Amino acid sequence: MSNKSENFNWLPERIGKYKIEKVLGMGGMGVIYTAKQEPLNRTVALKVLQPMSGHSEEAKKRFEIEAQAVSRLEHQNIVQLYEYGQEESYTFFAMQFIDGENLSQRIHGKKVMTFGEMIDISKQICRALRYAHGKEVIHRDIKPQNVLIDKGGLAHLTDFGIAKVFSGGDITMTGVAVGTPEYMSPEQAEGRRPDAQTDIYSLGILMYEMATKSPPFTGENPVSIAYKQVHEIAAPPSIKRKDIPKRLELIILKALKKDKGKRYATIDEMLNDLDSVDVDEKVERQTLSFLSSKKKESKPTRGIKEKRITDRRMGDRRFGRNARQTGINLFCAEFWIESWRTQSLSIVLWLMTMLILLLHFVNHP
- Residue 228 carries which side chain, given as an amino acid letter? K
- Residue 177 carries which side chain, given as an amino acid letter? A
**Cβ within 8 Å of residue 49, ≥6 positions away:** 29, 30, 59, 60, 63, 90, 91, 92
Provide the edge-to-edge strand list for the sheet that holds 30-37.
14-15, 18-26, 30-37, 42-49, 90-96, 81-87
Please state at what angle helix 267-275 crosses helix 196-212, rounded to 10 degrees: 30
User: Among the options 141, 170, 259, 278, which is catalytic?
Assistant: 141
Q: Quote the CA–CA distance of 11 and 9 in Å, as a whole number.
A: 5
Residue 141 is among the residues annotated as catalytic for this protein: yes
Contact 238, 286 (CB under 8 A): yes
Q: Quote the CA–CA distance of 358 and 15 in Å, as a whole number.
A: 108
Q: Quote the CA–CA distance of 342 and 156 in Å, as a whole number.
A: 58
Task: Please identify every residue annotated as catalytic.
Answer: 141
